[in-house]
Structure 1
């Protein structure tokens, strides 16, 4: 069934709610904008994506270790990192709708429309002009571009805009038992700083030698004014980040290495290479000397999923300056005594877990017409890589009698120690298959009357719907091989 992209995206969002993947947060109270809860299958899928990242990053690299730093951090950390002074977005308000927008995103939407309409030259010219204005922090120029390209408010349809001004994205709160005299602290807007301030702790306690990395998965918080496209842009989100500490002067070599390694990680899930692209930054952050995004083609266009940044020695140098503590690496094998002690450079890989979740959901979603002649039939299937699937297999007794449920439960009890399984005996076997297809379960194991005679069961494969008769005693190995992490990690 062919769908236009808007309809496809709406169907994915509806499917995510109907089948327990993602719910609007606080929905019974009319929800909270740009905040979402992960349902029973969403939580499993999210955990499996985290596991895949952690195994690929920490388990497979002897020189990368993982930590879990606190969300609350000393306020000075955010001064040192530049977030207090410079963590701002250029915002513009429409006077008629009273809605606030990010100026650069309004322009990006216009660029995407030009590209869609085949106006490539216009798109490129606007992209260059916007990049120049952002680099120079020329907010009046951003407003001029919005006016020149006749960008209207999507709500009111008018072009009655305010000036562009900056808006800080950090959430602040009070830290202390009493409201008076308590300190103002921030909910962390990124997880990276928790790694940087623990650089020396990890290096010394783990006897780490340069080059080495510190990985972390954790929540971050940004008061995004523009919250849209489902879970793509949220106020509470999760990051999977790795900071790789290297010798100054080797950063371009390592930058290239991690660009290639991270794209391989994505493609190992079986995604088409055409769905991904690198987008090199023209406007670099103040701390970077090279930066690129790995972008995925969502139904609404290419969007960033992961960033790879060469952060130089900015972060550690800033924390040295603000804390008064030395954050250096001493290399006893360096013969030049002046070069033995140095502040390491850093290559960062940072992936949005929620965006990776959305990517995985969209990539897996498929509507299939299975009609034959006059017999109408269809199914919605989520073709997750088996290692990522929330439920690995479902045990289905053919009927609810004749000892089949007891035999099915016996098989499930043996397998559930190793795999996340489901048991389902309600409705016809066809309806049960469809339910499992809709949540992405790769294998269905049917227990029938023959099972009681010779201990064989039917195993059905989700994508092909092919069924095979196997011995129940072999299921542990069969399922184990089919859903193994080796399939993607190797």
Structure 2
């Protein structure tokens, strides 16, 4: 049974700010809602997750290549993809507070206050009405359950209507006399940059079906109720791969990527029991199969990645709107006809992971407040981030025991020898115990202490974050040991 530990979630949020992982954007101006900045250790952790994904896709699969498409795209792109007409959510306003809510978020927030059976019944009714686009029924559900606005405390609601989530902006330095002539959108997803570049990539990289195109990058959605820290933001980052296959083979490739992507999560050292699949019952009109990989956050199981069998919808739509052929000529022989498969629009299996959500899952799983027994029977405590070593922001801390007797010079030499291979951190302030605690709090898996014995035998003490055990090892073994541990 999934648990909802809001106290832990709030502790993770506070820890993320205190130790330089995530800050509220523009905080000195009271912030910007649902927009966040990544601090020194947050930006390192985020980069490490991104790099690990990128390597797993492009370096470890010989039939996947990457691109980096622009954020701005021709506005017809979004007409073809369906985002202009269909990328919207049902919204409702409170007439007294003037606050706008996304309907499902409003109902879900109320459900969290109810007993388990009542909550499940309410959410089931909501899902049924949403699937039928029954806005009258949804408003009645809100009124019947006496759901109130958190600001005004009243249930004085407008009718429900759709609200498009794309950000608009003007393109170019000169305003047009005709409104909308210069209008472009900030992309709401990164996938379309892959689809419109399908032939460019296939021809220049000489790719043969089946093959994939991977991309990471920012996307933007004008979420009306963005909440739960970095779980749902207006500016976020995606890691997507579109895998192009021969029609008729999409089912087997969907199963392959469904399993492959879960194994990627587990390869990071994340616990298997905190993951589950959620197969979609209601599919998008173009989808054949779809599922989410969900992770158990402190706030319950939530989606971190989606796998979708998209058919030929995207390429066919762009072919239609651009009037340019987006087809592939397949020389392989069809066993049924004895002839080449010839020209066709490939089908697509998509894997799409939210980098910010993956970041939050790593941070949530790693956070622990731990009691440490002492010899006198009392106990101490520490807050530790058990981030998998291969993606930890700082891999090795080098700590001279004192600021004198030549120890800092030896420590600096060790750092210079290691920092070309992995991120190191040097600190000589405060007691060694306090420095260990600070390193625990940012998730550093290994600490090296340079002491007076080092000057005698060229050995140092290495301390392991997770067990707090220590051992001596020669200075010339430090680099290789850490490299081996972070592979």
Give the TM-score band, short-chain normalised: over 0.9
- Alignment deviations for residues 308-337 of structure 1 (CA, whole Å, 9 cap, x no partner): 111110000000000000001111123556
Q: Distance between the aligned counterparts of 1:292 and 1:145, measured in 2?
A: 28
- 1:171 aligns with 167
Q: Please, which moves more after superposition, 88-97 or 66-75?
A: 88-97
Looking at structure 2, the residues matched to 476 and 338 of structure 1 have their Cα atoms a distance apart, in angstroms, of 54
- Aligned match for 1:362, one of 349, 355, 364: 364
Q: Does 1:134 align with 2:130?
A: yes
Q: Deviations over 1:325-377 (max 9, x none)?
A: 00011111235568411111111110000011111111000001114345441
Q: For structure 1, which segment, 380-389 or 138-147, has the greater mean C-alpha deviation from structure 2 after superposition?
A: 138-147
Q: How many residues align?
A: 478
Match of 2:223 in 1: 224
Deviations 1:135-154 (A, max 9, x none): 32221122122223333333
SS of corresponding position for 1:317: helix
Structure 2 residue 36 is matched with structure 1 residue 33: no
| Preserved contact between residue 291 and residue 310 of structure 1 (Cα < 8 Å) | yes
Specify the alignment match of 2:411 in structure 1.
408
SS in 2 for 1:445: strand
Change (3 A) 1:94 1:371: farther
User: Any idea what the Cα deviations from partners look like across 1:144-194, whole Å, max 9, x if unmatched?
Assistant: 222233333333333222111110111111111212356110000000000
Residue 461 (structure 1) aligns with: 464
Q: Does 1:98 align with 2:101?
A: no
Match of 1:79 in 2: 79
Counterparts of 1:92 and 1:471, CA distance in 2: 66
Q: Distance in 1 between matches of 2:94 and 2:233?
A: 22
Following superposition, the deviation at residue 276 of structure 1 comes to 1.4
2:258 alignment partner in structure 1: 259
| 1:94-121 alpha-carbon deviations (Å, 9 max, x no partner) | 223322111122233455555xx331xx
Tell me how far apart the structure 1 counterparts of residues 279 and 151 of structure 2 sit (CA, whole Å).
32
Distance 1:382 1:72, change over 3 A: same
Question: Cα distance, 1:426 vs. partner?
Answer: 0.2
Aligned to 1:341: 343
- Structure 1 distance, partners of 2:218, 2:27, is 21
TM-score (norm 1): 0.94
State the shift of 1:125 in Å. Answer: 4.5
Matches within 5 A, 1:8-407: 8-111=8-111, 117-119=115-117, 122-123=118-119, 125-180=121-176, 183-335=182-334, 336=337, 339-372=341-374, 373=376, 375-407=378-410
Unpaired runs of 5+ residues, structure 2, are none
**8 Å contact from structure 1 (residues 131, 282) kept in 2:** no
Q: Which moved more, 1:300-309 or 1:129-138?
A: 129-138
- Structure 1: distance between partners of 2:379 and 2:127: 52
Contact 2:401–2:449 (CA under 8 A) maintained in structure 1: yes
Quote the residue 1:488 is aligned against. none
TM-score, structure 2 as length reference:
0.95
